[in-house]
Structure 1
């Protein structure tokens, strides 16, 4: 019988609990210990993983000898400090939620940690592992004949409520184009296989959160935007984000076009938000539209209902953890490295800067360290 891999979890808000449910679907795994300071979230996590030990600090978690790896799903502003604490006390293999960091001045800290950390660091970019997007990436070259234009559209619901409202403010989240969108910038780099050279953005707060106050402050997080990215190989990409469009049939619509044709992935949002009177939730589609002979071909890409029940990301969290588990056992390399995490954040920071200043940002000139909207 294979030995169980023992996981420690830091942070059990919505995403942390999704990690719990999906890890527990893997064979030969065990949630050994949880650190979650919020009592409500702590109780919710204990219901999912009743055998896990509940501890009161990151240090106490790391002192549990049986642990084989850590998942960090804490609020964004805590990631860097918790990684540094792990590096100092016990550098276990770690899967850390995106974004890897949120402020430009944190980049040297992450780069030092990346150089010195003796164990695998995997940055959680769930969208890579959604089955329709994974299939999109597999078929990309043949369907397009060489990608020239990539468009990512996300039309979804507003930011959900989080403990302490940390996701309502740029200073603790990094800003919408970092917090929400860095995984889309990761997808751009992955699909285009080149590095960004220029970022242009227009974004703002149009509809959401104006009627909310926390300690006398109104949220400043953006709810819509456009981002255009030029890449070194001549390809270009665009992100369109709207966070007051939960009535859409599909949450993500991704298209790539090249000289041979077009390929699209259409991904529904969380099934728990789908209105029951409309019947079953939609199923993801992959559509290929060659230029010759003309005629789009669409196929459905369903996901196991058990995986849909385990989280809001169309099964991707399970598939990501399965591959992380394979990396832990040495059967494959880390697929989403700390360097990938850094580059995705830098693209988000550049987009935040462009939207604030109204100017394009050249990536080789670096990101300004102080911007009112993200500090």
Structure 2
């Protein structure tokens, strides 16, 4: 199976490292308008030197590939995808699917007509501890799910080529760029669609002293977001991007009518806490979920990128389903866009305001 990579910056490099762990694959083409990014990717591939192109159009026309990974900046996705769709290639497109709802709608429509699989890159689903957490919640371990809370306390946005991620017009805003992962997980775990979003967020610590052509970055660096779902479950995301020293970067807690279940990343532990009644001894059970060492070393998403690529490869070969569709990507963008509006306008946003497709 022959892969092409469009966008050979930081995330493109992570995809390259993980694809190389798969059996019976090769990376035969890379594309990026920045020569130094192409050089870096070529160096990381060693003896396996792919054809080099400066655009997705050139790669689609001249590259000999079966599947393409789109890891270019968020705002380029629609333009990058168009020639790949025209060639009918299998595609894994990094999150967020797009920076605008209109572009996300267009991608969903084109993906539906594409003869080969289209996959939205939602790595967080594939962290082994998170995957186990989801399976346990869906399996009824906590009873009927009532509340879902997520926390990401982490480092600020990293520096990207051209500093494109410093501005909402390029990234979709923090709630789209970063938090689409969590909104996707909410939908997956809750098993329903969002009806209402309220986000309180600010720009309080990060990037305040940065200037790009005299312009100050406008991306949120902290927020609380509450999402009401159609089945009555409510979910909450607590985001802080100036909490570099936090012990756990990601924490997710699901509370049902019978128990609570937490997942902590790192270290990759599940913590199960059944209801015991007031005053009774607690019966907390802690379990570690192991991750393949090579998968951990090949990426920065707790091994998730490797497991996602294994599933994507199965789908391309006709050995498994597409597990994260373009529509999944669009729904995550919708919630993120609603959160951005809510934070700016200081009001709850009804999803029907944004979703014209029903």
TM-score range, shorter chain: over 0.9
Conservation of the 8 A alpha-carbon contact between 2:85 and 2:111: no
Q: CA deviation at 1:300?
A: 1.4
Q: CA deviation at 1:367?
A: 6.4
Given candidates 88, 108, 114, the residue that maps to 1:91 is 88
1:7 and 2:13 equivalent? no
Structure 1: 5+ residue stretches without partners:
269-282, 369-375
Moved over 3 A (4+): none
Paired residue secondary structure (1:148): strand
1:121 and 2:118 equivalent? yes
1:106 and 2:90 equivalent? no
Match of residue 300 from structure 2? 312
Alpha-carbon distance in structure 1 between the residues aligned to 2:306 and 2:77: 22
Using a 3 Å threshold, how does the CA distance of structure 1 residues 145 and 209 change in structure 2: closer, same or farther? same
1:289 and 2:277 equivalent? no
Match of residue 40 from structure 2? 44
Structure 2: 5+ residue stretches without partners:
none
1:33 and 2:29 equivalent? yes
Match of residue 19 from structure 1? 15
Alpha-carbon distance in structure 2 between the residues aligned to 1:230 and 1:84: 34
1:326 and 2:324 equivalent? no
TM-score of the pair, normalised by structure 2 = 0.95
Conservation of the 8 A alpha-carbon contact between 1:350 and 1:367: no
Conservation of the 8 A alpha-carbon contact between 2:18 and 2:298: yes
Instruction: Indicate the RMSD between aligned Cα atoms, in angstroms.
Output: 1.4
1:302 and 2:286 equivalent? no
Match of residue 271 from structure 1? none
Paired residue secondary structure (1:216): coil
Paired residue secondary structure (2:344): helix
Given candidates 191, 205, 208, the residue that maps to 2:206 is 208
Instruction: Pick which of 185-194 and 215-224 moved more.
Output: 215-224
Q: Deviations over 1:289-320 (max 9, x none)?
A: 11148411001123222222111000000000
Instruction: Pick which of 78-87 and 230-239 moved more.
Output: 78-87
TM-score of the pair, normalised by structure 1 = 0.90
Alpha-carbon distance in structure 1 between the residues aligned to 2:241 and 2:354: 28
1:362 and 2:346 equivalent? no
Conservation of the 8 A alpha-carbon contact between 1:94 and 1:120: yes
Alpha-carbon distance in structure 1 between the residues aligned to 2:316 and 2:282: 45
Q: CA deviation at 1:172?
A: 0.4
Conservation of the 8 A alpha-carbon contact between 1:143 and 1:290: no
Alpha-carbon distance in structure 2 between the residues aligned to 1:38 and 1:338: 28
Alpha-carbon distance in structure 1 between the residues aligned to 2:316 and 2:348: 40
Conservation of the 8 A alpha-carbon contact between 2:91 and 2:118: yes
Alpha-carbon distance in structure 1 between the residues aligned to 2:236 and 2:173: 18
Match of residue 241 from structure 1? 239
Alpha-carbon distance in structure 2 between the residues aligned to 1:65 and 1:158: 36
